[in-house]
A and B are shown apart, each in its own frame.
Chain A
Amino acid sequence: MKVPSTPENELERQKALDESGLLDQAQDERFDRITRIACQLFSVPIALVSLIDRDRQWFKSCQGLSVSETPRSISFCGHTIHSDKPLIVENALNDERFADNPLVLGHPDIRFYAGTALKTTDGLRLGTVCIIDQNPRHFSDKDARLLIDLGRTIETIIAADADVRTTYSTHEKILLESEKRARLFIEATGVGTWQWNVQTGETIFNERWAEMVGYTLEELFPISIDTWTRLVHPEDIATSDAALKRHFSGENAFYDCKARMLHKLGHWVWVHVRGQVFDWTPEGEPLLMYGTHTNITSEMHAQEALKTSRDELNSLISNMPGITYRCLPDTKWTMLYISTQIENISGYKAEEFIDNACISYADLIYPEDSKRVNEAVHSAINDGNRWHIQYRILTRDNEWCWVEERGRAIFDEASQRDILEGFIIDVTREHETEISLSKYQNALMLLNELALNTEQNIDQRLIHALHVARDYLDMDVAILSQIETDVYTVKSISSRHDIDIKPGKQLDLGLTWCQLLFSGEESELFIANIQSSNFSKHPCNEYFPIGAYIGVPVFVEGNVYGTLNFSRNENRNDFDQSERLFVGLMARWIGGLLESTLSSERLYKLFNQLPGTVYQFRRYPNGHVTFPFSSENILMLYGISSAQAKISAQPAFEKIHPDDLEQTSASIEASASTMTPWQAIYRVRKMDGTYRWVLGQSQPERLSDGSILWHGYINDIDAQEQARQALERNEKRLRGLFDFSPIGIALIDFETGQFIDLNAALLLPTGYTREEFLRLSYWELTPKKYQAEEEKALFDMQQTGRYGPFEKEYIRKDGSRYPIRLQGILSTDPDGRKVIWSLIEDISEPKRLEKMKDQFIATVSHELRTPLTSINGSISLLLGGVAGQLSERGMSLLENAARNGKRLTNLINDLLDIEKLVAGKMPMRMTVQPLAPLLDEAIDSVMNYAHQGMNKILVDHNCNGVRVHVDGARLIQALNNLLSNAIKFSPDGKEVHVITEVIGDDLLISVRDHGSGIDPEFQKYLFKRFSQGDSSDTRRLPGTGLGLAITREICDQMGGSVHFNNAKDGGSIFYIRLPVVKS
């Protein structure tokens, strides 16, 4: 046995195999489909996709074997991967590389193997697709090409997988990157983030979160929601839970609360908790939450301190960045006192506010906020509560500044009136952080929402995404464009107003704002106010005058696909970081979406190259059926387009042959109820009205909505099916012939001698039942005396492939025997088994008839001769004058009677002779004797006849000393027939020539006449029984028509022959050829 050697590029090859991800993966239907096709295509029991891995071959797909791998050292495929050419082993026993291979000597008993290498796009041979049979077989070039084609198909799948893998990893990279960016940003803000699976409790915190409470993430491990509940202050759990409940119920858009957490060092840390559910279970339960924890300990501590004591508060005031105030509850919030820190926030001095000296505090409040502030304060005054609000004030520098105010109404004893007092702190920084954070969260959640929406098709998803983004960015128009050379094509668009730009519209790139992205100056454009920007003089502004613009490139597979751009008629405020991040991520997301569509299109193209139809078939709970996916070939199959099929599968069912519909539907039902693979063979009506057979196979999958989705493949097997049915019909016909044949037929295994099949005609005369017959041993059926014949038959069969016919006997069940005639041929059945077809004819009846005939002939012979004897005898005596002298007329009449009596006698003699000759019952008494006396006697016997026509017989003797081995009487009879004929057909007075000559070892005796010769038409019947040249009623010459037939039989039986020629100058030549006996 030859162990396969290691290819030169093994390291590279193994690396490619490892990276392919093909190894040790679960069963893959796509490969199985191809191996199943291979089994059918080549009628083999075993087909494999084998991958050659380090020290084993592992079967990616395997039909007909139960193992999943075998050692590489004994593999056939290990040899195959050395070449691009297929390895074909027609009979492994004759191949020294494999003859003693354990896979050949033992299970699975490989005899035939054909395999072709499977290559990566880089030409590395990872493994093979191969077919195996347990019988040797021939594999034509055409077969080899088919196998290579199968290999190419698998290579395409492997290559497509590699593409998809690359695409996935690109996606993953992008996602990781964007997540990393977002995370970096969030980490920079000093915010802890969390993600919580509400249903399972699974929780993810970031490092910053752990830092807030003085731990590293590692120290907190294992992390779950309990990590949080363990650390949170028991008093705050209720608050937190209440806030959570309000968010879950939809009352609050966010989960928002403040709580204390236990720091590693033992103190409490205040955190601001904020989060939102972004995924819900199908039942409407919250599933995933995402949120942040911000450390607000300092603020909280401050508040607490305030509460602790007013004195303490007062003492703190000077050290705090806050402002204390006292004012009147009027519309102007007329200040009685305000601490000097107000200058730090507003830019106005404290005294400028007192009694509204220069400015009222109310005027500083941001108009949108003032109503809310008023309401909150008045509501608190009425209820006797404190107020706690956040609002914006306008600083002297015209900037907005967020403040947080806490205050209450008190009755001032001194002035006997209500006054308001409180504390204002600058929370701009916190607020901005919070807003920015919330904006980021919103942006990320929006993107998340867009990405998670997989219900719609890509066009709908794009339009939806553009719409959502346009609203989020507060722009008027959102466009996804494709850019090829200098042409800008609108692929998808969402517009706030009705505008004259539709998908498919093409523009000159040079006239669009996008052009800026490709001129090398800008990689992205965020222009909030074009008029005040550098771009106000740009030519684009002439064509498309707008207020604000965003443009970013979209990349697909590393190349620029086009742009994602937004425009706004009016200016807007500057784009912030979250918006920029949003647009960037969205462009990436669109690129990924387009990429995955491209690769699924590629897969679709691959499916379309397959000969059949790849499809998904979905049955909804209400019974509606569709083909959500189908390759283009479905048009050929069911006459409907993929698009039509997507809407309803009903038209396909209408194409199924009425006789097959019920069965096909039932098989789908069965597959659905048992969730087992579906397989059916049925006929489908084509455009031209004809039906073709197809084979459908698919794998069902239950979907969450109760639908069942089948993934499968349907191919046209009309030719195979027609052939199979023709074979079946043919088989049926032959079976009929077999069953109803009047002759016994048996099929016998050549190796074992066992009967495989036999028909009724064989059984009937034996008296056995079929079961009894099949149990018989050979010599129970055949008498031992025929052993010699049996051995000869067997010998003949081995030598020539056939035996017989010969006659023997069979023993009946009752012990009696009957004669049979046997013959048979050796044949090979479709399984390659050697079988003997034997015809066994019961010849009892023919034998009986033969006996009857013999008896009949004997009787006829006796019963005809007896009266003839009297008739001929009487005539002869009368002619001889025994009864006295007769008149001349009387004599003439008697002579007539005598002639015909003689004819009748000859006829009877000839009839008996030919019967005996043909039946081989005329014994030849062969002796070696001189020819001359026999010839003389024959001539003598016809002399009288010759004299009647005045014909002379001229003898050209050349036979002195010539001796022959013959039955003398029979040779004379044969010559007599030729001579009589010659005289009969010779015109009166013409000669008949008899010539003898020796040529080589042969003696030729020719009899030649000068008659009219033999009509060529008649020549072929010349030596047949009862043939006469002139068979009309007005037959001129007498004769039985048996003479030449008898002559031929006699000559044949004496080892000679008789022949005929027309003579050149008219007349016929008959000659007898006999072997000469050498002295």
Chain B
Amino acid sequence: MGQLKRVLYVDDDPDIREIATLAIRDVGGMEVLVCDSGKVALESIDKFDPQLILLDVMMPEMDGPSTLRALRAQKLITDSTAVVFLTAKIQAEALSDYQKLGVNDVISKPFDPMMLAEKLQEIWSRLDDR
């Protein structure tokens, strides 16, 4: 079972961004590239090569799904990159939409930052097993 090391995290809310960053980096001991918008993510990803991307769904200009589509279109992520959405919207229709997008899991807000890294690892491991 491999270790999850690099996580790309995109969120427009600075407060949540701070908490999630702490949770992934300090609690989980992972490397995290934090972006405050999809646009920034597209520009900054460069050679970071994330194993998992954590995307906030509701964002101005480019929302989570758009960012995902853009990343894929520009081949900035591979098919093996795990995709996890972070959202306050957990309505059923939304969930099925996300699955169509090829999202591997959804984490709802509010989440427990102490458990976040562990959850991401679990998701990634589940994928890695295939």
Residues of chain A whose beta carbon lies under 8 Å from any beta carbon of chain B? 858, 861-862, 865-874, 876-877, 879-880, 882, 901, 905, 916, 922-923
Contacts and interface: CB of A to CB of B under 8 A. Distances in A.
Interface stretch (B2-10, B16-24, B46-54, B76-84): B16-24
Contacts of A876: 112-114
Contacts of B27: 877, 880, 882
A868 B89 contact: no
Given A872-B112, A882-B27, A866 B20 contact: no
Interface string B51-93: 0000000100000000000000000000000000000110111
Interface string B96-130: 00000000000011111110000000000000000
Contact of A873 (B58, B92, B113): B113
Nearest to B19: A873
Nearest to A916: B91
20 contacts: A861-B89, A862-B58, A865-B110, A866-B13, A866-B16, A866-B88, A867-B15, A868-B110, A869-B19, A869-B109, A869-B110, A870-B13, A870-B16, A873-B23, A873-B111, A877-B113, A880-B114, A901-B110, A905-B110, A922-B92
Main secondary structure of the interface of A (DSSP, over half): helix
Contact of B109 (A866, A916, A922): A866
A861 B111 CA distance: 14
B88 to A, nearest CB: 4
Interface of B: 13, 15-16, 19-20, 22-23, 26-27, 58, 88-89, 91-93, 108-114
B52 to A, nearest CB: 19
Nearest to A864: B88
Given A877-B23, A882-B23, A882-B113, 18 more contacts: A858-B91, A865-B88, A868-B110, A869-B109, A869-B110, A872-B112, A873-B16, A873-B20, A873-B23, A873-B112, A873-B113, A876-B113, A877-B19, A880-B27, A882-B27, A882-B114, A901-B110, A916-B91
A901 B91 CA distance: 21
A873 B26 CA distance: 14
A544 B88 CA distance: 136
A880 B109 contact: no
Contacts of B15: 867, 870
Nearest to B95: A923
A869 B18 CA distance: 11
Contact of B111 (A858, A869, A882, A916): A869
A874 B18 CA distance: 9
A873 B20 CA distance: 8
A905 B109 CA distance: 10
Nearest to A883: B22
Given A876-B114, A905-B110, A869 B92 contact: no
A1028 to B, nearest CB: 25
Nearest to B58: A862
A398 B126 CA distance: 176
Contacts of A922: 92
A73 to B, nearest CB: 81
B120 to A, nearest CB: 15
Nearest to B14: A870
A882 B22 contact: yes
Contacts of A872: 110, 112
Contact of A877 (B58, B91, B110, B114): B114
Contacts of A877: 19, 22-23, 27, 113-114
A877 B16 CA distance: 12
A466 B77 CA distance: 145
B19 A861 contact: no
Contacts of A868: 109-110
Residue of A869, A901, A922 with highest tally of chain B CB at under 10 A: A869
B93 to A, nearest CB: 8
A862 B88 contact: yes
Residue of B23, B89, B91, B113 with highest tally of chain A CB at under 10 A: B113
A639 B2 CA distance: 117
Contact of B110 (A858, A873, A882): A873
Given A880-B114, A882-B26, A869 B16 contact: yes
B57 to A, nearest CB: 10
A874 B23 CA distance: 10
Residue of B16, B108, B109, B112 with highest tally of chain A CB at under 10 A: B109
Nearest to A877: B113
Residue of B88, B110, B113 with highest tally of chain A CB at under 10 A: B110
A170 to B, nearest CB: 108
Contacts of B114: 876-877, 879-880, 882
A862 B89 contact: yes
A869 B58 CA distance: 14
Contact of B92 (A865, A871, A923): A923
A918 to B, nearest CB: 15
A276 B64 CA distance: 137
Contacts of A866: 13, 16, 88, 109
Contacts of A858: 89, 91
Contact of A865 (B22, B23, B26, B109): B109
Give me the 10 closest cross-chain CB pairs, A-B, nearest first: A873-B19, A865-B88, A869-B110, A870-B15, A869-B109, A880-B114, A862-B88, A873-B113, A872-B110, A865-B109
A809 to B, nearest CB: 24
Residue of A867, A870, A871 with highest tally of chain B CB at under 10 A: A870
A853 to B, nearest CB: 14
Contacts of A905: 110
Residue of B19, B20, B89, B92 with highest tally of chain A CB at under 10 A: B19
A882 B113 CA distance: 10
A901 B111 CA distance: 11
A34 B127 CA distance: 102
B80 to A, nearest CB: 29
Contacts of A874: 19
Residue of A861, A865, A879, A922 with highest tally of chain B CB at under 10 A: A865
A922 B90 CA distance: 11
A872 B15 CA distance: 11
Contacts of A865: 88, 108-110
A872 B58 CA distance: 20
Nearest to A898: B112
A861 B108 CA distance: 11
Given A873-B113, A877-B27, A861 B88 contact: yes
A861 B91 CA distance: 10
B88 A880 contact: no
B55 to A, nearest CB: 15
A858 B112 CA distance: 22
Contacts of A923: 92-93
A887 B20 CA distance: 24
A877 B20 CA distance: 10
A866 B15 CA distance: 9
Contacts of B109: 865-866, 868-869
Nearest to B15: A870
B97 to A, nearest CB: 13
B24 to A, nearest CB: 11
Contacts of B108: 865
Nearest to B57: A862
Contacts of A901: 110
A895 to B, nearest CB: 13
Contacts of B58: 862
